[in-house]
Amino acid sequence: MWTSEQIWTWLEEVKDPEIPVLSLVDLGVITQVKINEKGKVNIVLTPTFAGCPAMAYMKKAVEESLQEHGISDFKVTLSFDQPWNSNRISEKGKKALQQFGLAPPPSYDRILDLEILEQAICPHCQSTNTTLRTPFGPTLCRSMHFCHNCHQSFEQFKPV
């Protein structure tokens, strides 16, 4: 038999399809791993953005991971019960984002003031002398910025 701790460890191997250095666990989209008395595994995922086209892929990737580890009795559901926000990304996840060249979302306390978008830190040179170009980017979860120090455009994982 398996424990939920083991399953959490296995799920660290499942990566975000658009950011392959980031696991679904560090992204914070897995809100529940439960095993009932009959051994059935119930996993709940919550979307980063409601319109994120990668969610169906992530669900399938979790199902495949369970199968690879010999689990056949499972259910993976999508739910808004514990809505995702960018504070759910772990410290390890934020580090991985930065190494990937994507500015991690700044943490915020309860209420998000979008002015923090103007204070993005360049992931290439760490400068704070940056400007928000547009809150929309190549995927729903990214905004686009420009760094006046190293004169490069960069993207930030949006705080929500």
Q: Please give the residue ranges that form the binding site for another protein (CB under 8 A).
A: 47, 49-53, 80-81, 83-85, 112, 114, 117, 133-138, 140, 144, 158, 160
Chain centre to alpha carbon of residue 48: 7
CB of 117 to another protein, least distance (A): 8
Q: How far is the CB of 146 from another protein (least distance, A)?
A: 12
Nearer Cβ to another protein (21/112): 112
Q: How far is the CB of 135 from another protein (least distance, A)?
A: 5
* Closest approach of another protein to the CB of residue 3, in Å: 29
Residue 9 or 119 having the CB closest to another protein: 119
